[in-house]
Amino acid sequence: MIWRAHADPNRPCDDIDADGTVKTLTSQGVKIYQSDRGLPAQARQQVIDRYIQPHRRRLAELVASPAIEKVVFCHTMPGIGTRGAEDKGELRPLFMFGNDGDADGTPSNQCFAERALLLTLSEIVETSVGDLDVDFNFCDVIRYNHPYTGGNSLNRFDPQALRGKQPLTIEINRDLILHNPDNIAPTRAIVNRLVLALAQWRRD
């Protein structure tokens, strides 16, 4: 396992100034290492060669495998837009579904999750949110493709390898857990329902 503050496989390898694969700053702009440049170039490349590239190759193989029927990338996000984000300082939703599309959930590529699936997943969240303690500030229960579109994850793969697998990203507001640890179990239950619905989804 790689500590995400040290290396993040979901970031660009050529970004060495901030929030890249091998980080120099946190998302809040705090230095990780004493040096402003982070790890020395040789050490940074070793991390990429030893951990990041093998991880990405294996993930691409799995995504392309006929045995994999659905693809979902699940992340957590800060409850307020961070320093370098387009929504800096703005409240974020409890859940976000991304298919690299627009705010209505229409995907940018027919190989990505269709809008109808996002609507179905949204119904699950809407009917389950009563199980959560949400007595904190947030903007909406659900949004599509904002503040993230999911393109950073989805576009790293051959679209044809994703066709029919309804790939999407799910972002969960981190404040759900930071506000009340008792939200862990119901949040896990919601994610389980989402994954089951995705597994059972069939195009009409």
Taking alpha carbons only, the member of 119, 136, 125 closest to residue 179 is 136
Concatenate the DSSP letters of all residues of 125-179 into one string: HHHHGGGS---S--S-SEEESSS--SHHHHTTS-HHHHTTS--EEEEEETHHHHH
pTM for this structure?
0.89
DSSP state of 37: T
d(CA 148, CA 145): 5
| Structure token digits, residue 144 | 């599509």
Tens place of pLDDT per residue across the chain (204 aa): 445 667 788 887 777 666 678 888 777 777 888 777 788 889 889 989 998 999 999 999 999 999 999 999 999 999 999 888 899 999 999 999 999 999 999 999 999 999 999 999 999 999 999 999 999 999 999 999 999 999 989 999 999 999 999 999 999 999 999 999 999 999 999 999 999 999 999 865
Alpha-carbon torsion angle 38, 41, 47, 52, nearest 10? 100
Cα–Cα distances in angstroms (integers) from residue 88 to residues 28, 59, 81, 113, 168, in the given order: 10, 31, 4, 27, 24
Peptide bond into 167 cis (omega under 30): no
d(CA 95, CA 173): 6
Concatenate the DSSP letters of all residues of 71-113 into one string: -EEEEEE-SBB-TTSTTBT-B--SEEEESS--TT---SSTTSP
